[in-house]
Structure 1
Amino acid sequence: MFLVLLFVTALTSIMIYLRTDNDIFGLLGVVMSLTCLIWGLVIAHWSVHILALFALLFFGKPVAVATVESRHR
């Protein structure tokens, strides 16, 4: 939720900067947009790792278990 509010504030700051001559809104919009970009890349990176971990745990058989079962047969 915080990331959505940060993104909306960044867009609002950019729109205010384009309508006025205040440089503080431009600086605020750029800094907040970069923060949203970095935060989004961090979240995307970890979500890919979590999805891969779930895929390995739920859809695949661990290698160690498969080799132990094949030795007992």
Structure 2
Amino acid sequence: MASEVLAKPQMRGLLARCLRIHMVGAFLVSLGVAALCKLGMAEPRKKAYADFYRNYDPEKDFEETKKAGIFHSIK
């Protein structure tokens, strides 16, 4: 019972092996987060800006702002 042999722990190269595994994992996670931000935030924002400016009339907006009295120097 006491004669069971335990496996020797890896002593050489342990840090390098662990760092290699963790670096690959961190790289994959960062790629996933970048793709999620691109598809989840950037693309909808670009679409919203495109939709807004498709029908935007700056002259009409200026006249509405002028009628509201926001510009004090314009009569």
TM norm structure 1:
0.49
Structure (1 or 2) with the larger CA radius of gyration: 2
